[in-house]
């Protein structure tokens, strides 16, 4: 079983998001970058599925050279090899297009992504990739099992869940529940240095979207504290002032 | 440029978020002096289809193919893209629901359209541009994004646009799309939906509990409060990690992002990752025994106190308020 895991390099979840250049650029000063938390889950499941030499796990990232520490981390966790498409990830369409080109040249049985990347996130790459490859895509999955040439996934729906069976290959966007993230051990960290990391140049493609600027949510006013022995006052405020009940 | 809106249903019924997207798509059509067509897929009754007119659809394309009774991502995307081509639609609008998020990117690729997900307001269209405001950095920021393609696909965050009644008379039309066999390879084995519960992403009011509640056995009062308010339940990440509550209730940067009218946080400290997923709530109420808890800094109303005393009092106060209303 050959599995491809798409990984993105994102600001650590504790990052306070700020912008520079007149709010047109994300301020990366002092920001630590990590492997996208959902991609960690996808990677962990891929490693479980190929455990004991039952196939290989390739990780792919569309990014510039600064993403290599994150790629090495994925190798340390247990990926077999890695590919970096040497380009700034302009938007989801650009990323999906590059990965689709790679998959067309290097077919695999299963493509895993995270449900979304926590930076410019849009949970779009998985479905775009599915469409570009003309195979099924399913996202926000909480379980994934393979039986022969079929895959069974559980996906989240409003107020419940849905279980689907699909023929391989598919693209699946992983969320919590699919696997527990794995922490690299010493041997993994040592071997990661020598595992293959191939750099390829991007294919040319038109883009359809441009980020013009960013803004952060408007700050709220001062909190209105209600004394703990006058809870009824809160109900009155929610009804008469906030008008939400 | 006509606008096409996909009107999602759950078990044959439209949800509030569906009427929101129709209202929103109507407003985009008005911005461009054009018409609005809705497309519905699945077994929705004529009466319910006619409801779409109430919110501004002039035409409703109804696809009631047995093979499409349940949601199949690939096939639905093909049908919606085909409808967009037939109608000559330049803008396709969907809800940023779980299904909508799976559909929008596929439709975008089929139509060679730019896709904007998680949109929160009407597009700016001055000077022939098409600029949308969408969530970014998992709720910590917004981005203004220009879609530069001729066609556009956008998905709207639930609770971010008000339902508006226009009372247009909708013309119903059957739409028979060709469906490729290769679009129908996914088989639905099981759908589990707890219909008695308010679904979290669509909820008007969310009651959320954190580690301050000590254990799953203490959720009774949280559930009672939620039931009283017709609210959905949510929790912080450690609560679902510990198995006190299901993962599907976990909100925040790595969970579900919600934007209800009212978010009530009980025993939650307000870590940056938690706030990311809830900060676009219109009104935030925090109940925490620690006056220094960071959540109070982003709250509209707060009670500093022990949840085990405050919540039961809140429940009786709401009961009293309801009895007198
Ligand atoms: C990669 C990553 C991603 C994350 N993503 C998320 C996410 O998406 N969502 C999320 O929620 N967290 C997330 N977290 C975790 C986050 O950092 C916090 O640890 C978490 O939100 C804390 O949960 P909590 O507020 O319930 O618990 P705590 O931080 O333990 O806070 C408990 C609060 O309850 C109060 N309290 C205690 N007893 C009482 C009482 N009797 N009455 C009233 N109040 C009481 C305390 O004063 C305290 O403020 C993430 C962390 C990481 C590292
Ligand atoms: N630059 C990238 N390189 C490789 N994979 C990516 C990249 N960006 C996003 N992905 C993958 O696509 C998933 C969804 O991302 P997004 O559509 O950006 O929310 C992520 O969880 C990754 O698995």
The CATH number of the domain holding residue B219 is: 3.40.50.1220
Q: Which residue range forms the structural domain that includes residue B262?
A: 205-324
CA pair distance B266, B316, nearest whole angstrom? 16
Name which of B75, B143, B147, B312 to mutate to probe chain A: the one with the most chain A Cβ atoms within 10 A of its Cβ.
B143
A229 part of a folded domain:
no
Co-location of B143 and B238 in the same domain: no
CA pair distance A171, A80, nearest whole angstrom? 19
Answer whether A121 sits within 8 Å of B136, measured CB to CB: yes
Co-location of B239 and B165 in the same domain: no
Q: Phi, psi at residue A210, to the nearest 5°?
A: -135, 130
Q: B207 alpha carbon to ligand 1 midpoint, in Å?
A: 15
Neighbours of B99 (CB within 10 A): 22
A227 part of a folded domain:
no
A14 part of a folded domain:
yes
B20 part of a folded domain:
yes
* SS3 sequence of chain A: CEEEEECCEEECCCCCCCEECCCCEECCCCCCEEECHHHHHHHHHHHHHCCCCCCEEEEEEEECHHHHHHHHHHHHHCCCEEEEEECCCCCHHHHHHHHHHHHHHCCCCEEEEECCCCCCCCCCHHHHHHHHHCCCEEEEEEEEEEECCEEEEEEEECCEEEEEEEECCEEEEECCCCCCCCCCCHHHHHHHCCCCEEEECCCCCCCCEEEEEEECCCCCCCCEECCCCCHHHHHHHHHHHCCCC
A153 part of a folded domain:
yes
Task: Find out whether the beta carbon of B78 lies less than 6 Å from any atom of ligand 1.
Answer: no
State the angle between helix axes of A37-49 and A68-77 in degrees (0 to 180), rounded to the nearest 10: 40
Percent share of chain A, pLDDT over 70? 100
pLDDT at B195: 66
Co-location of B32 and B175 in the same domain: yes
Residues in chain B with pLDDT values less than 50: none
Which residue among B102, B109, B140 sits closest to A138, beta carbon to beta carbon? B102
Task: Find out whether the beta carbon of A128 lies less than 6 Å from any atom of ligand 2.
Answer: no
pLDDT at B323: 94
| Residue A152 belongs to domain with CATH number | 3.40.50.620
| Residue B88 belongs to domain with CATH number | 3.40.50.620
Co-location of B58 and B116 in the same domain: yes
pLDDT at B259: 93
| Strand B141-147, strand A209-215: pairing | antiparallel
Co-location of B164 and B213 in the same domain: no
Q: How far apart are the first and last CA of chain A?
A: 54
B68 part of a folded domain:
yes
* Residue A235 CB contacts under 8 Å (≥ 6 apart), including other chains: A245, B314, B317, B318, B320, B321
A101 part of a folded domain:
yes
pLDDT at A31: 96
B189 part of a folded domain:
no
A134 part of a folded domain:
yes
B192 part of a folded domain:
no
What Cα–Cα distance (Å) separates residue B5 from each residue in B93, B157, B202?
5, 14, 18
Residues of A in contact with B10 (CB under 8 A): 158-159
B269 part of a folded domain:
yes
Q: What is the pLDDT of residues A112-149, one digit of tens each?
A: 999 999 987 789 999 999 999 999 999 999 999 999 99
Q: Tell me: pLDDT of A234 over 90.
A: yes
Instruction: Domain count for chain B, please give it.
Output: 2
Which of B86, B31, B20, B80 is CA-nearest to residue B55? Answer: B20
Co-location of B116 and B232 in the same domain: no
Nearest CA in chain B to A165: B187
Q: Phi, psi at residue A148, to the nearest 5°?
A: 65, -120
Q: Which residue range forms the structural domain that includes residue A92?
A: 2-215
Co-location of B166 and B224 in the same domain: no
Q: Is B166 exposed, middle or buried (0-12, 13-18, 19+ CB in 10 A)?
A: middle
Q: Phi, psi at residue A123, to the nearest 5°?
A: 45, 55
Answer whether B296 sits within 8 Å of A223, measured CB to CB: yes
State which of B184, B216, B234 marks the end of a domain: B184
Torsion, CA B195, CA B200, CA B202, CA B205, rounded to 10: 110
Which of A176, A158, A178, A154 is CA-nearest to residue A166? Answer: A154
Co-location of B284 and B150 in the same domain: no
Co-location of B176 and B259 in the same domain: no
Instruction: Domain count for chain A, please give it.
Output: 1
Query: pTM here?
Result: 0.95
Considering just the CA atoms, what is the radius of gyration of chain A in Å?
A: 21
A144 part of a folded domain:
yes
Task: Find out whether the beta carbon of B269 lies less than 6 Å from any atom of ligand 1.
Answer: yes
Co-location of B158 and B262 in the same domain: no
Which residue among B144, B147, B262 sits closest to A208, beta carbon to beta carbon? B147
Co-location of B135 and B217 in the same domain: no
Nearest-neighbour CA in chain A from B297: distance (Å): 7
Q: Tell me: pLDDT of A56 over 80.
A: yes
Alpha helices in chain B, H assignment, sequence order: 16-31, 46-54, 73-87, 98-111, 219-229, 237-241, 272-278, 307-324
Whether residue B207 contacts residue B234, with contact meaning beta carbons closer than 8 Å, is answered with: yes
Q: Is B107 exposed, middle or buried (0-12, 13-18, 19+ CB in 10 A)?
A: buried
Which of B292, B291, B289, B244 is CA-nearest to residue B266? Answer: B289
CA pair distance B196, B203, nearest whole angstrom? 13
Whether residue B113 contacts residue A208, with contact meaning beta carbons closer than 8 Å, is answered with: yes
- Return the DSSP state at B215: S
A187 part of a folded domain:
yes
Name which of A158, A165, A241 to mutate to probe chain B: the one with the most chain B Cβ atoms within 10 A of its Cβ.
A158
Q: Tell me: pLDDT of A218 over 90.
A: no
Co-location of B145 and B266 in the same domain: no
């Amino acid at each position: 079983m050959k599995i491809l895991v798409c990984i993105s390099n994102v600001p650590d979840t504790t990052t306070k998001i700020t912008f520079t250049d007149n709010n047109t650029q994300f301020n990366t000063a002092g920001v630590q970058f990590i492997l996208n938390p959902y991609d960690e889950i996808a990677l962990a499941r891929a490693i479980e599925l190929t455990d004991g030499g039952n196939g290989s796990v390739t990780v792919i990232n569309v990014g510039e050279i600064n993403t290599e520490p994150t790629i090495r981390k994925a190798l340390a966790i247990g990926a077999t090899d890695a590919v970096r498409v040497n380009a700034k990830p302009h938007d989801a369409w650009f990323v999906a297009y590059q990965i689709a080109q790679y998959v067309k040249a290097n077919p695999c049985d299963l493509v895993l992504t995270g449900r979304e990347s926590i930076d410019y996130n849009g949970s779009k790459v998985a479905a775009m990739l599915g469409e570009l490859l003309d195979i099924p895509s399913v996202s926000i999955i909480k379980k994934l099992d393979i039986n022969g040439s079929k895959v069974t996934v559980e996906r989240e729906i409003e107020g419940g869940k849905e279980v689907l069976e699909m023929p391989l290959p598919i693209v699946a966007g992983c969320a919590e529940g699919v696997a527990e993230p794995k922490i690299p051990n010493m041997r993994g960290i040592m071997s990661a240095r020598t595992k293959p990391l191939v750099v390829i140049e991007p294919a040319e493609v038109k883009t359809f979207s441009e980020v013009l600027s960013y803004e952060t949510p408007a700050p709220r006013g001062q909190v209105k504290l209600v004394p703990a022995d006058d809870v009824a006052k809160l109900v009155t405020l929610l009804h008469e002032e906030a008008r939400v009940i | 440029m006509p606008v096409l809106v996909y009107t999602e249903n759950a078990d044959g019924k439209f949800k509030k978020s569906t009427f929101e997207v129709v209202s929103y798509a109507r407003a985009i059509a008005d911005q461009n002096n054009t018409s609005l067509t809705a497309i519905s897929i699945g077994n929705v009754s004529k009466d319910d289809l006619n409801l779409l007119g109430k919110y501004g659809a002039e035409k409703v394309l109804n696809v009631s193919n047995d093979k499409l009774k349940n949601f199949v991502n690939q096939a639905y995307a093909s049908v919606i893209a085909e409808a967009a081509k037939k109608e000559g639609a330049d803008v396709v609008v969907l809800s940023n629901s779980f299904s909508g998020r799976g559909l929008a990117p596929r439709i975008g690729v089929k139509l060679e359209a730019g896709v904007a997900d998680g949109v929160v307001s009407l597009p700016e269209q001055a000077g022939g541009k098409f600029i949308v405001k969408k969530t970014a950095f998992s709720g910590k920021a917004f981005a203004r994004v220009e879609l530069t393609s001729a066609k556009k696909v956008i998905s709207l965050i639930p609770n971010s646009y008000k339902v508006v009644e226009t009372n247009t008379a909708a013309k119903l039309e059957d739409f028979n799309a060709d469906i490729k066999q290769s679009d129908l390879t996914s088989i639905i084995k099981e759908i589990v939906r707890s219909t008695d519960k308010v679904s979290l992403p669509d909820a008007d009011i969310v009651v959320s509990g954190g580690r301050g509640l000590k254990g799953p056995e203490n959720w009774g009062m949280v559930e009672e409060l939620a039931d009283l308010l017709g609210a959905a339940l949510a929790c912080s990440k450690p609560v679902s990690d510990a198995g006190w509550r299901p993962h599907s209730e976990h909100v925040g940067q790595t969970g579900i992002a919600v934007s209800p009218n009212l978010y009530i946080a009980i025993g939650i400290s307000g870590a940056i990752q938690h706030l990311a997923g809830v900060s676009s709530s219109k009104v935030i109420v925090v109940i925490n025994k620690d006056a220094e808890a960071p959540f109070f800094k982003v709250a509209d109303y707060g009670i500093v106190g022990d949840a085990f005393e405050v919540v039961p009092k809140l429940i009786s106060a709401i009961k009293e308020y309801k009895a007198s209303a």
